[in-house]
Chain A
Amino acid sequence: MAEASSSSSGYPRQVVYCGVCTLPPEYCEFGGTVKKCEEWLEENHPQMHAKLYSQEAIEQGLSALSVDAQKRAAKDAEKKAAKAVAAEAKAQEQRATSKVLIKRIERNKRKYVTAVQGLEAFGLDIKKVAKDFGKKFATGSSVTKIPGGGEEITVQGDLSDDIFDYVVETYKDVPEDNMECIEEKKKKPAS
C-alpha cells in the first residue's frame, strides 16, 4: 500500500495485513483487538503506524461522526473488545484443560493400531498431522471418524511411545503433561 494513488499503474498493489487480526491495518480499529494490532503495527511497519495512529488521524476519525453516533460506536467497540478477550481466554483455558489421548488398540494378537485423539484442540490440522505421522513412521495413517462425534488419527502399528515423543518434540504448543498413553483391548467376537 505504498502508493496511495488510485491510478491503475503499479498493479498488483502490495497490501499489508495485520498480523493480529488479519485485516488491513486501517480496519484494525473495528476488529476488537486494537491494542495488540497497534503494537504489532508499530513493531513491523513503523511508518504506517505513524500514519494511522497519529493524533490527527484519530481526531479526524472522531469528528466525522455525530456525538450520538460516536457514543454508540464506542460502546460497540468496547463490547467487541470484551468479546475478543473472552474468546481468547476461553481458547487458552480449553488449551490448558484438553487432553491428547494416545491409544494403543489391539487389532489381532500381536498386531496393534494407535489412535490419537484431541490434537485439534491445540490448533493443529489433524489431516496434516496424520500425513506427517505417516511420513515419519512409514506406516499407514489416516483420519477416521469416531462414534461419539469428532475425528481421530489412526496410525497402523504399535507406535504409542514414538508418537508421544514425536508430538512433544514437533508440536511445541502441546504440553507434555496433557498427553496420555492408554491401552485398549478390543474383544473381537469369535467368528
Chain B
Amino acid sequence: MFKKDITPGAKSKVKSSAQRGIRSKVLEQYPLLEPYIDDIMPKKEQLDLVKLPDRVSLYTLGATPLFFQHMDDPLMPHLTLIHRYPSCFNRLRIDRGAIRFVLSGATLMVPGLTSPGGRLPDDDDDEEGIYGEEELDAGEVVVIESEGKETACMVGVLKMGTEEMKKVKKGQACEAGHYLGDGLWQLSLG
C-alpha cells in the first residue's frame, strides 16, 4: 500500500467523541491491548488525523503514529506500535528466505509461512505457544514476524485462512499492508 514514498496531507484534530469511537474500535479489534490502552492513547490527549494518499488515514498522538485505516477497513497498527506491544496482536512468522521479499514490498506467499522456519497458529514447533492456537480466517489483520528476529517486519490482512494455507501450501497469504522501510515507515511527522 505504501510502496512509494508518501507525503502527508492535511493534519487535523480528532474530535473527542470520534476519539472515543476509535478507542472502542481498537479495543474491540485488539482486545489484548486493553491493559495498555491508556498508555497508547491516554484519554486526555489529543489525537491527530493525518490524511495520506489513496484514502488512507493515519491516527497519531503527537509525532508517534498509532493506527492507520484505509477507508472503513479495519484499523491497522503502525509497526512502531507493534514493536512496543508485540504480543497484543495475531502473529505469524515467516522463514528467513522470505524476509527480503517482504521488505521490498512483495505480497507474502504461503510457502514462507508453511516452511520449517515459518509459523502458523497451532504449530507443532511452536513450543511457547506465542503464535496462538486458534486458526485465523481470511480478512484478519496479522502481524508478520520473522525467523531469528525479535521485531515484526510487516502488518497486513490475511488473504487466505490459516487452515487452508496448511492444506494448500501455495498462493498469496497476506496482502502487503505496511512493512519495514516503506513509505509509511519513512514518513516523518513533525
Q: Enumerate chain A interface residues (CB-CB to B < 8 A).
A: 1, 4, 6-8, 11-13, 15, 21-24, 26-27, 30-31, 60-61, 64-65, 69, 73, 76-77, 125, 128
Contacts and interface: CB of A to CB of B under 8 A. Distances in A.
A11 B84 contact: yes
Given A27-B149, A61-B148, A125-B190, A6 B97 contact: no
A8 B185 CA distance: 25
B44 interface: no
A28 to B, nearest CB: 10
Contacts of B99: 27, 30
30 contacts: A4-B150, A6-B86, A6-B87, A8-B88, A11-B36, A11-B39, A11-B84, A11-B85, A12-B84, A12-B85, A13-B83, A13-B85, A15-B80, A15-B83, A15-B84, A22-B186, A23-B180, A24-B149, A24-B180, A26-B149, A26-B150, A27-B153, A27-B180, A31-B181, A60-B148, A61-B96, A64-B96, A64-B97, A64-B148, A73-B100
Given A13-B85, A24-B180, A65-B97, A1 B39 contact: no
**DSSP majority for the A interface?**
loop
Nearest to A12: B84
B181 A22 contact: yes
Contact of B151 (A1, A8, A60, A65): A1
